[in-house]
Structure 1
Protein backbone atom coordinates (compact mmCIF):
# COMPACT_ATOMS: atom_id res chain seq x y z
CA UNK A 1 0.00 0.00 0.00
CA UNK A 2 1.27 3.51 -0.71
CA UNK A 3 2.18 5.89 2.08
CA UNK A 4 -1.10 7.83 1.69
CA UNK A 5 -3.35 4.83 2.24
CA UNK A 6 -4.48 4.48 -1.37
CA UNK A 7 -4.11 1.03 -2.88
CA UNK A 8 -2.31 0.67 -6.13
CA UNK A 9 -3.74 -1.50 -8.88
CA UNK A 10 -1.21 -4.24 -8.24
CA UNK A 11 -2.17 -4.33 -4.53
CA UNK A 12 -5.87 -4.93 -5.24
CA UNK A 13 -7.48 -8.35 -5.15
CA UNK A 14 -9.13 -9.75 -8.26
CA UNK A 15 -12.57 -8.86 -6.82
CA UNK A 16 -11.53 -5.28 -6.09
CA UNK A 17 -10.18 -4.90 -9.61
CA UNK A 18 -13.40 -6.28 -11.07
CA UNK A 19 -15.51 -3.93 -8.93
CA UNK A 20 -13.37 -0.98 -10.01
CA UNK A 21 -13.75 -1.88 -13.69
CA UNK A 22 -17.52 -2.44 -13.42
CA UNK A 23 -17.99 0.80 -11.48
CA UNK A 24 -15.98 2.70 -14.06
CA UNK A 25 -18.00 1.24 -16.93
CA UNK A 26 -21.28 2.13 -15.20
CA UNK A 27 -20.09 5.68 -14.50
CA UNK A 28 -18.91 6.28 -18.08
CA UNK A 29 -22.13 4.78 -19.47
CA UNK A 30 -24.29 7.02 -17.26
CA UNK A 31 -22.24 10.06 -18.29
CA UNK A 32 -22.49 9.23 -22.00
CA UNK A 33 -26.24 8.58 -21.78
CA UNK A 34 -26.86 11.84 -19.91
CA UNK A 35 -24.75 13.89 -22.33
CA UNK A 36 -26.45 12.28 -25.33
CA UNK A 37 -29.91 12.95 -23.87
CA UNK A 38 -29.05 16.57 -23.02
CA UNK A 39 -27.71 17.17 -26.54
CA UNK A 40 -30.70 15.61 -28.28
CA UNK A 41 -33.53 16.82 -26.03
CA UNK A 42 -35.00 20.25 -26.84
CA UNK A 43 -34.38 23.01 -24.28
CA UNK A 44 -38.11 22.97 -23.53
CA UNK A 45 -37.82 19.35 -22.38
CA UNK A 46 -35.21 20.11 -19.71
CA UNK A 47 -35.73 21.71 -16.30
CA UNK A 48 -33.06 24.41 -16.09
CA UNK A 49 -30.34 25.12 -18.61
CA UNK A 50 -28.57 22.59 -20.80
CA UNK A 51 -25.20 24.09 -19.78
CA UNK A 52 -25.94 23.54 -16.09
CA UNK A 53 -27.01 19.92 -16.60
CA UNK A 54 -24.04 19.24 -18.88
CA UNK A 55 -21.67 20.44 -16.15
CA UNK A 56 -23.58 18.52 -13.46
CA UNK A 57 -23.38 15.32 -15.52
CA UNK A 58 -19.62 15.23 -14.91
CA UNK A 59 -20.09 14.86 -11.12
CA UNK A 60 -19.40 11.14 -10.62
CA UNK A 61 -22.54 9.00 -10.44
CA UNK A 62 -24.62 11.72 -8.79
CA UNK A 63 -24.71 14.13 -11.75
CA UNK A 64 -26.15 11.84 -14.42
CA UNK A 65 -28.55 10.21 -11.94
CA UNK A 66 -29.76 13.64 -10.78
CA UNK A 67 -30.31 14.67 -14.40
CA UNK A 68 -32.37 11.58 -15.20
CA UNK A 69 -34.42 11.93 -12.00
CA UNK A 70 -34.88 15.70 -11.81
CA UNK A 71 -33.61 17.37 -15.00
CA UNK A 72 -36.02 16.07 -17.60
CA UNK A 73 -39.57 17.31 -17.95
CA UNK A 74 -42.23 14.67 -18.17
CA UNK A 75 -44.01 14.56 -21.54
CA UNK A 76 -47.50 16.03 -21.60
CA UNK A 77 -50.27 13.42 -21.56
CA UNK A 78 -51.60 12.67 -25.03
Structure 2
Protein backbone atom coordinates (compact mmCIF):
# COMPACT_ATOMS: atom_id res chain seq x y z
CA UNK A 1 0.00 0.00 0.00
CA UNK A 2 1.33 3.45 -0.94
CA UNK A 3 2.23 5.88 1.79
CA UNK A 4 0.04 9.00 1.84
CA UNK A 5 1.65 12.39 1.39
CA UNK A 6 1.89 14.40 4.57
CA UNK A 7 0.57 17.90 4.84
CA UNK A 8 3.05 20.65 5.74
CA UNK A 9 1.54 20.92 9.22
CA UNK A 10 2.09 17.19 9.78
CA UNK A 11 5.84 17.41 9.18
CA UNK A 12 8.22 17.71 12.10
CA UNK A 13 9.97 21.01 12.70
CA UNK A 14 13.22 19.49 11.45
CA UNK A 15 11.58 18.34 8.22
CA UNK A 16 10.06 21.76 7.69
CA UNK A 17 13.42 23.48 8.27
CA UNK A 18 15.18 21.10 5.85
CA UNK A 19 12.51 21.81 3.23
CA UNK A 20 12.89 25.57 3.63
CA UNK A 21 16.70 25.38 3.51
CA UNK A 22 16.64 23.14 0.41
CA UNK A 23 14.25 25.54 -1.30
CA UNK A 24 16.39 28.55 -0.42
CA UNK A 25 19.55 26.86 -1.72
CA UNK A 26 17.76 25.88 -4.95
CA UNK A 27 16.50 29.43 -5.45
CA UNK A 28 19.95 30.93 -4.73
CA UNK A 29 21.66 28.55 -7.18
CA UNK A 30 19.12 29.23 -9.91
CA UNK A 31 19.26 33.00 -9.37
CA UNK A 32 23.06 33.02 -9.53
CA UNK A 33 23.08 30.86 -12.67
CA UNK A 34 20.45 32.98 -14.46
CA UNK A 35 22.29 36.19 -13.52
CA UNK A 36 25.56 34.76 -14.83
CA UNK A 37 23.88 33.55 -18.02
CA UNK A 38 22.25 36.95 -18.61
CA UNK A 39 25.53 38.86 -18.41
CA UNK A 40 27.48 36.50 -20.70
CA UNK A 41 27.73 36.90 -24.45
CA UNK A 42 26.42 33.97 -26.49
CA UNK A 43 30.02 33.18 -27.50
CA UNK A 44 30.90 32.61 -23.84
CA UNK A 45 28.26 29.88 -23.39
CA UNK A 46 28.48 26.26 -24.51
CA UNK A 47 25.27 25.82 -26.47
CA UNK A 48 22.28 28.09 -26.80
CA UNK A 49 21.48 30.50 -24.00
CA UNK A 50 17.73 29.86 -24.12
CA UNK A 51 18.29 26.14 -23.61
CA UNK A 52 20.52 26.81 -20.58
CA UNK A 53 17.86 29.17 -19.21
CA UNK A 54 15.40 26.27 -19.23
CA UNK A 55 17.93 23.74 -17.88
CA UNK A 56 18.72 26.02 -14.93
CA UNK A 57 15.09 25.67 -13.80
CA UNK A 58 15.57 21.91 -13.24
CA UNK A 59 15.98 21.43 -9.50
CA UNK A 60 19.59 21.45 -8.21
CA UNK A 61 20.91 19.64 -11.28
CA UNK A 62 20.25 22.48 -13.72
CA UNK A 63 22.23 25.30 -12.08
CA UNK A 64 25.09 22.97 -11.13
CA UNK A 65 25.22 21.64 -14.70
CA UNK A 66 25.32 25.18 -16.04
CA UNK A 67 28.22 26.16 -13.79
CA UNK A 68 30.13 22.97 -14.66
CA UNK A 69 29.39 22.64 -18.39
CA UNK A 70 27.55 25.68 -19.69
CA UNK A 71 30.16 28.39 -19.31
CA UNK A 72 33.24 28.77 -21.46
CA UNK A 73 36.17 29.59 -19.23
CA UNK A 74 39.31 30.87 -20.93
Aligning the two structures, in what range does the TM-score lie when normalised by the shorter sequence?
over 0.9
Deviation, 1:7, is: 1.4
Find the aligned partners of 2:10 and 2:50 in 1 and give their Cα distance.
40
| Residue 13 (structure 1) aligns with | 12
TM-score scaled to structure 2, two decimals?
Answer: 0.93
Matched residue pairs, number? 73
CA RMSD of aligned residues (A): 1.3
| Residue 63 (structure 1) aligns with | 62
1:16-46 superposed Cα distances (whole Å, 9 cap, x missing partner): 0000000000000011011101100111110
Per the alignment, in what secondary structure is the counterpart of residue 5 of structure 2? Answer: coil
Instruction: Specify every segment of 5 or more residues in structure 1 that has no aligned partner in the other structure, as ranges.
Output: none
Find the aligned partners of 1:39 and 1:4 in 2 and give their Cα distance.
42
Matched, 1:35 2:20: no
Deviation, 1:4, is: 6.2
